[in-house]
Amino acid sequence: MADETRARRWVRALSPLEPHRTRREWIADGIVFAASLWSWYYYAFLIPPSYVAGVSAWFWPVDQVLGLVACLLLWWTRRYPRAVGLLLVAPGALAITAALPTLVGVFRMAKLSRPLSSVAITALHIATALPYHWLFPLPGMELVVWVVVIPLMYALTLTLGLLARSRRQVIAGLRESAARDRERYEERLATTRRDERERIAREMHDVLAHRVSLLSVHAGALEYRTDPARPDSTPPTADEIHAAAVVIRENAHRAVEDLSELLTVLHEVSPGTERPQPRLRDIPLLVAEAREAGESVDIHMEVPTDGLRESMQRTAFRAVQEGLTNARKHAPHATVRVVVAEQDDDLLVEVENAVPVGLTSAEIPGAGRGLVGLAERVRLEGGRMDAAVRDGRFRLTVVLPAGLR
């Protein structure tokens, strides 16, 4: 079994069908072999006898055999370029019919193997080919011409092979560089998509959490006051039910609109068709909505509503929105104080409310991602954020480097 495996290994190693060739390589090798075979046939049978008059009659069949062997060896140049280059030394030095296949072998050796070994083997070819004119003088050719032509012919072939090798390496390098650039581009694209998904998730949380909290507060109030199991609850009047229904309907409609806006961004609408993003001048409208929902809010603004970066104004708006939403969830009956003012050349946003005594959980379930998303927004703007309970009051403080002076 081992001998059989070894035999198969030798067969594969010596097979002219190895290595696997592409269709283009098969065509190229076939053309080269056909041209070399035609050259061998021409010199062996069609050349005028006077051209080879100096070759001994007994040696001419040897010349023909060496030329045919040189043609066949070309099928192994792609796999063993240096070995074939060495094997072609004898045909190149002794056979006129092996002239073209020998030069082709030198060219492929220079193209596919290391330059130093190619130069050394080519020098061996030149050294062994020069004495041929002394053994079998060619009619009409001076010795000086032979001594000059042979080295130049081999040197030109070697140079062309080395140029082909350099071109091949440059193309391979460009392909590797293009592959690396494509990988880096795909990584950047994946990062951009991930960042965009996170941004949209933050936007969705900030917008929908505010609207849904308003809906939950009013629905909870209606549920409490209309519960027949609570004899101490005062039934709401028709006007109160109507007002609560109006608030629920309006905020549900606005939540749908905000969600539609975010979905429109996901579908990559053309520039100019997006709804305007919230700015500082929209904060009073946000406070008015909270007041309409029954929330007690005091606001104090002392900064210009224009002139700041849009992203910074949007972050300030989201900070106020997140503070109002948290107050509505955790302290629904507390008065909320909102401050948007200048502080040491920065933009200060502060939302503060009292924390009910004994409160252990939010009245409205939340995912806890609002402050995390807001902190990420503030970090991207180069600001700082603090959110903590001190002396029975929850204070959300955001400072953005606005350069107001």
Q: Is residue 155 part of a domain?
A: no
Distance of alpha carbon 265 from alpha carbon 44, whole angstroms: 78
Distance of alpha carbon 300 from alpha carbon 108, whole angstroms: 84
Q: Which long-range contacts (CB under 8 A, 24 or more apart) does 185-189 make?
A: none
From first to last of its 405 residues, what are the pLDDT tens digits of the chain?
556 677 677 767 677 776 678 888 899 999 999 999 999 999 998 888 777 777 888 889 999 999 999 999 999 998 899 999 999 999 999 999 999 999 999 999 999 999 999 999 999 999 999 998 888 887 777 888 889 999 999 999 999 999 999 999 999 888 888 888 888 888 887 888 787 777 777 767 666 666 777 777 767 766 666 666 666 666 777 777 777 777 777 777 677 676 666 666 555 544 444 556 788 888 998 888 888 877 889 999 988 766 788 888 888 998 998 898 888 888 878 899 999 998 887 899 999 998 876 554 444 444 456 788 788 888 888 889 998 888 888 899 999 987 665
Distance of alpha carbon 231 from alpha carbon 225, whole angstroms: 10
Q: Is residue 157 part of a domain?
A: no
306 contact partners, CB below 8 Å, separation of at least 6:
279, 280, 281
Which of the listed residues 141, 160, 179 is the one where a domain comes to its end? Answer: 141
Q: In the prediction, which pLDDT does 166 show?
A: 94
Whole-angstrom CA distances from 74 to 29, 32, 79, 81, 267 are 8, 8, 10, 9, 59
Any idea what the Cα angle at residue 337 is, between residues 331 and 338, rounded to 5°?
120
- Peptide bond before 231: cis, by omega within 30 degrees of 0? no
Q: Is residue 83 part of a domain?
A: yes
Q: Is residue 187 part of a domain?
A: no
Q: Is residue 191 part of a domain?
A: no
What percent of the chain shows pLDDT beyond 90? 34
Element (H, E) at 390: strand 384-390
Q: In the prediction, which pLDDT does 367 show?
A: 45
Any idea what the Cα angle at residue 261 is, between residues 378 and 370, rounded to 5°?
35
Domain count, the chain: 2
Distance of CA 254 to the CA centre of its chain: 38
Which of the listed residues 87, 119, 141 is the one where a domain comes to its end? Answer: 141
DSSP 234: P
Which of the listed residues 95, 116, 141 is the one where a domain comes to its end? Answer: 141
Tell me how far apart the terminal alpha carbons of the chain are, to the nearest angstrom.
90
Q: Is residue 92 part of a domain?
A: yes
Q: In the prediction, which pLDDT does 345 show?
A: 79
Q: In the prediction, which pLDDT does 272 show?
A: 46
Q: In the prediction, which pLDDT does 118 show?
A: 94
Whole-angstrom CA distances from 188 to 179, 183, 202 are 14, 9, 21
Q: In the prediction, which pLDDT does 56 show?
A: 83
Element (H, E) at 90: helix 89-94
Q: Is residue 178 part of a domain?
A: no
Q: Is residue 259 part of a domain?
A: no
Q: What is the pTM of this model?
A: 0.51
Q: Structural domain of residue 44, as residue ranges?
A: 2-141
